[in-house]
Amino acid sequence: MTYLSMLKNPAWDMVFVLMLVAAGFFWGISGGKKKMALTMLALYVLLVIFPYFPIDSILGGRAPNEIFMFRAGIFLAALLLLALFLSRAFARQAHDNCVWWEIILLAVLAAGFLAASILSLAPAELIKNNTLNLSSSVLKLFADPVIAKWWTILPIFGVIFL
């Protein structure tokens, strides 16, 4: 698949990743780098505490697709709540000076981290058989275990050095 054909007929999952980047960019422009950093912190915290949510007992006997969708929905709702509570806890912080390229870089790192985190919630058979009908580029970029580890590590450095 050439890059030009990807631009003419993008896969739905790649469009979703680009929408995450755009949402992160506008979130960063409106709130600053500190708000982006707090959102990434919320994602790290949620990755630590999410395995302790009693979701699996509720989802027993469901299809793997349903399990993934429920887990992803609960994960996103919990991320939203946690990010709002964290940003509210640090609301007294002054608005920082935003440089557009730093916000874009943080948005890409946050979107990649979120995409890799959500795909890590999917049962292994869904990823292995590509039951979700994800494009090969999304599977390679976000579901490959080696690259997914980098999506977990790089946002830390983005927050520290930007």
How far, CA to CA in Å, does 86 sit from each of 2, 12, 82, 103, 107?
A: 42, 31, 6, 19, 18
pLDDT for the residue 95:
56
Ramachandran assignment for 147, one of left (phi > 0), alpha (psi -120 to 50 degrees), beta (any other): alpha
- Give the pLDDT score at 151: 93
Q: Where are the domains of the chain?
A: 12-161
**For residues 84 and 13, what is the distance between their CA atoms, to the nearest angstrom?**
26
pLDDT reported for residue 7: 62
* pLDDT for the residue 96: 61
Round to whole Å and give the CA distance between 83 and 42.
Answer: 5
Q: What is the pLDDT along the chain (162 residues), one digit of tens a residue?
A: 555 666 666 777 788 888 888 888 888 888 778 888 888 899 999 999 999 888 888 887 888 888 889 999 999 999 999 988 887 777 665 556 668 888 889 899 999 999 999 999 988 888 888 888 888 888 899 999 999 999 999 998 888 887
Q: Which residue has the tokens 């505490």?
A: 49
Cα–Cα distance measured from residue 68 to residue 119, given in angstroms and rounded to the nearest whole number: 9
| Its pTM surpasses 0.75 | yes
